[in-house]
Amino acid sequence: MSTVYILWLRQLKRYFRSRPRILGALGQPLLFLVALGFGFGPIYQKAGGGNYIQFLAPGIIAMGILFTSVFSGMEIIWDRQFGFLKETLVAPIPRLAIMLGQTLGGATVATIQGMIVFVISLVVGFRPESLTLIVLAPLFMFMIALLFAALGTAIASAMEDMQGFQLIMNFLIMPTFFLSGALFPLQGLSNIIGIIASVDPLSYGVDGLRAVLLNNAHFGIPTDLLVLSVVAAIFLAVGSYFFSKIQI
């Protein structure tokens, strides 16, 4: 447990020491929130959907968590290139503890990033409607972060090239985000898009955030938590397997 804590704390120190990284990670969510929220807001309202900022904000919070958590896996490749990972792996500690420390650190950083995006959304005009369920929002943020941090760790453990990691992540993450219902309601979709959205794990994270912030769920809070927990466990198992196969 001490190894997990040390690596978790190392991830947090890296995050708070890198102010450009914090600001850079906020740029895309802020752009989406302002440009889409105010750009498509009048159209969404005329279509009978209400305030688009209210609908959009949970999806943008999930987006901020998604990108930060997945790209935390790049630190494994970075540590491998500069020798830190080799020094860690030759130490007499279980590789599972190292992997968990890296993943939990990335998930914690992504959760903090999600909280910052939440505060920004309040400044832009978002107002939570469910004050009783809002206490569950950090839980859903952390579940999203843990799931995709584990995915990033798994992919980074199987790769040595940082450019290749970025290409694969963009190939996976952009469809995951756009098909999750973060930008549009899941009700009334075509059968094909509806099926894709239902197998997209981020859909359940976005839905969970909308449920606790707006009291408006498509799948339901129990289903959202169950799916996120099961998929996170699967990705953690896959990530630990690939991490155990890293050659030093």
Contact assessment for residue 160 and residue 80, using Cβ atoms and an 8 Å cutoff: yes
Q: How far apart are CA 96 and CA 173, in angstroms?
A: 25
The number of angstroms, rounded, from the C-alpha of 147 to the middle of its chain's C-alpha atoms is 7
Q: Chain-centre distance of CA 74, in angstroms?
A: 14
Q: Indicate if the pLDDT at residue 1 is higher than 60.
A: no
Task: Quote the pLDDT of residue 84.
Answer: 65
- Indicate the pTM of the whole model: 0.90
User: What residues does each domain of the chain span?
Assistant: 2-244
pLDDT band at 42 (very low <50, low <70, confident <90, very high): confident
Rounded Cα gap, residues 7 and 26, in angstroms = 24
pLDDT for the residue 71? 82
Q: How confident is the model at residue 130 (pLDDT cuts 50, 70, 90)?
A: confident
Give 39's contacts (C-beta < 8 A, 6+ positions apart): none
Question: What is the average pLDDT across 10-31?
Answer: 72
Q: How far apart are CA 142 and CA 136, in angstroms?
A: 10
